[in-house]
Structure 1
Amino acid sequence: MHAQLNDHRAVADAMQDLLPGVRSVGELLIEAYQGTGILYTFGNGGSAADAQHLTGEIIGHYKRDRRPLPAVTLSTDPTTMTCIANDYSYDDVFSRQVRALARPGDVVAAFTTSGRSANIVAALRAAKEKGATTVLFGGGDGGPSKEFADVALLVPSSTTPRIQEMHTFMLHAISEMVDAWADEDEEYA
């Protein structure tokens, strides 16, 4: 347990360099929400849970009572996911949804620890083709997903638990920024 805590501390300390990128993602979301943008999130396994966590904070609220903001987690619809996986392939489960939904002005955010899952890479590529802004919450070198990310928030670790712990930190920091902006937004009724 001590080794895990020491590893967590070391990775958390190394996150300083990512703070400007985290701030820029918060600003991207605020800019999207000043227009008609929507946030689309996705991931596999624990990363799908992180994607849902961010969506929940954006639609619900983080700390303030404010208007709900549009966000969708693509991995939460089992009917669509299994339809696409069955009729096409599992590699297409997110990219088909992105192709159907994402538009310029939207933000498409992928959560992945390795950046190597074919369905993540395909969805980020599709989002770029549709003109959406792409964000990668990843780890290590970002894998092939990094190529299709406008902003890559890469946790300086190759250990899944440490990466996911820092993804939670980042999504909370971003949620705080968006929450504060939405709370002050004059259009909230």
Structure 2
Amino acid sequence: MSIRASLNESIAAIRTIFNLEDAVTRAADLLRQTLLSGHKVLVCGNGGSASDSAHFAAELACRFVSDRRPYPAISLTGDGGLLTAIGNDYSFAELFARQVKAFGAPGDLLVALTTSGKSENIKRALERGKELGLNSIALLGRDGGFCCGLANVELLVPEKITARIQEAHKVIIHLLCELVEPDLAKQ
């Protein structure tokens, strides 16, 4: 594939976000409300989405652009000891759900990323979050898989190529930060 063809695929995937404007606005409102009311954000994903989850948590807990106070955001992908304990003692499918139960509280926000929508550990995390009174945002790809319908707000990038979905998810993460940071900086 040529560089131009690859870039055109990426641009096409990112353009699908125009169709998500209302959902991105709702997600930003939910994120803003969560943080300004003193609750925390938990973020999870597998593989490249695990890296994106750490990236999103860092933008919230450190800063995006503005120098502002930090807000509580935790990536559930970063503690190797905890991840391997849960995976070994329970199962990989419980990796995030167990942490949602440990760290989540009613009013908190779970942000789950999956390019396929078929990650059992993401599905279980969303279900556990709902049981515990957390709100949720799901960044999904393809057709959303069996994670469709589990989150308060779904941001579905209907592409088939994982890399293109991840690129669009990164743009969505930055859009969410851009939309909420001005209000966070006022606090």
Opposite residue 93 of structure 2, the aligned amino acid is: D
Task: Assess if the C-alpha contact under 8 Å between 1:15 and 1:156 holds in 2.
Answer: no
Other-structure match for 1:140: 142
Which of 180, 183, 186 pairs up with 2:182? 180
1:62 correspondence with 2:64: yes
Deviations 1:56-103 (A, max 9, x none): 000011111100000000110111110011101111110011112212
Query: How far apart in 1 are the matches of 2:121 and 2:27?
Result: 22
TM superposition shift of 1:173? 0.7
Percent sequence identity over matched residues? 38
The count of residues paired between Structure 1 and Structure 2 equals 185
TM-score where L is the length of structure 1: 0.94
- Give the 3-state SS of the residue equivalent to 2:77 in structure 1: helix
Other-structure match for 2:35: 33
Q: Could you list the runs of 4 or more consecutive aligned residues of structure 1 that deviate by over 6 angstroms after TM superposition?
A: none
Query: How far apart in 2 are the matches of 1:135 and 1:42?
Result: 11
TM superposition shift of 1:145? 1.1
Opposite residue 179 of structure 1, the aligned amino acid is: E
Query: How far apart in 2 are the matches of 1:73 and 1:33?
Result: 15
Query: How far apart in 2 are the matches of 1:75 and 1:10?
Result: 29
TM superposition shift of 1:21? 1.1
Task: Assess if the C-alpha contact under 8 Å between 2:111 and 2:136 holds in 1.
Answer: yes
TM-score where L is the length of structure 2: 0.95
Other-structure match for 1:98: 100
